[in-house]
Amino acid sequence: MRILIVDGKKDVAQTLLSGLSKNGYAVDASENGESALAALSINSYDLLILDLDLPDMDGLKICDLARAKSPSILILILTARGKKEDIITGLNTGADDYLVKPFHFKELLARIRALLRRDMRTREPILKIQDVSLDTVEKVVWKSNHKVQLTRKEFGILEYLMRHPNEVISQEIILEHVWGSLTNVFTNTVRVHIQSLRRKLGDNSETPIYIDTVIGFGYRFISPEPNKKNGDSK
């Protein structure tokens, strides 16, 4: 999951960025409305965590524009505005949830997971392809009846591939959605994590069962569906 944090207080934004990154999310941060709108126009985000009190504009404007541009994006308003009228206005503007500062970080994590559980517009909480099951909320992967222990980044890669079965996903897209926009696109970290994933799933690059390498393009998770795309694989 890729998250954009928009908060006018640099220390708050950095704290959220650090905490959410440690919990396995790919996170970007903006400190004003202008940079937030630029990020939303360039990148595809799953969740927007939005402060309303920004130095250059009211966060409600960003909420409205983000909802209009990306109807499926999850929006969680995180602000010091705690009056009932503010909460009603925020939710009516398009937010999916509203949390008042000060807040406990564990509550924020719980609310993010709750949004995922009830967000049935574009996501399913349990992804299952072949004999691999991935619980997007509990962050657990099973192969048949055996639990597979993955690192946070391995889980993020597997989740993204399983959300797009049979689609060829480039290294650049994986980096953006699992690591964030500041990662060096020339790094070999994706290849290293893919190798580790294959090993843990009992897969291999020569005769892939789950993760296929499409030379020169990227990777795809193999699903036994008739619409599987063709391509040179290794």
Please state the rounded mean pLDDT for residues 68-72. Answer: 84
Cα 231 from Cα 234, distance rounded (Å):
10
Greatest alpha-carbon span in the chain: 60
Please state the rounded mean pLDDT for residues 3-25. Answer: 91
Please state the rounded mean pLDDT for residues 29-50. Answer: 92
**Is there a domain that residue 228 lies in?**
no
* Predicted local distance difference test score (pLDDT) of residue 69: 85
Structural domain boundaries enclosing 19 = 2-118
Residues 130 and 113 in one domain: no
Q: Which segment of 84-88, 170-174, 195-199 scores lowest on mean pLDDT?
A: 170-174
**Phi, psi of 219, deg, nearest 5:** -130, 155
To 10 degrees, what angle do helices 84-93 and 59-69 make? 30
**Is there a domain that residue 7 lies in?**
yes
Q: Residue 49 sits in a domain of what CATH number?
A: 3.40.50.2300
* Predicted local distance difference test score (pLDDT) of residue 178: 86
Choose one of 118, 139, 173: the last residue of a domain: 118
- pLDDT at 35 > cutoff 90: yes
* Predicted local distance difference test score (pLDDT) of residue 136: 80
Q: Which segment of 3-12, 13-22, 133-142, 174-183 scores lowest on mean pLDDT?
A: 174-183
Residue with tokens 């209009």: 68
- Indicate the pTM of the whole model: 0.65
**Is there a domain that residue 234 lies in?**
no
The answer for residues whose C-beta is within 8 angstroms of residue 225's C-beta and 6 or more apart is 165, 166
Confidence of residue 226 (pLDDT cuts 50, 70, 90): low
Confidence of residue 55 (pLDDT cuts 50, 70, 90): very high
Q: What are 151-178's pLDDT values in tens digits?
A: 989 999 999 999 899 999 999 889 888 8
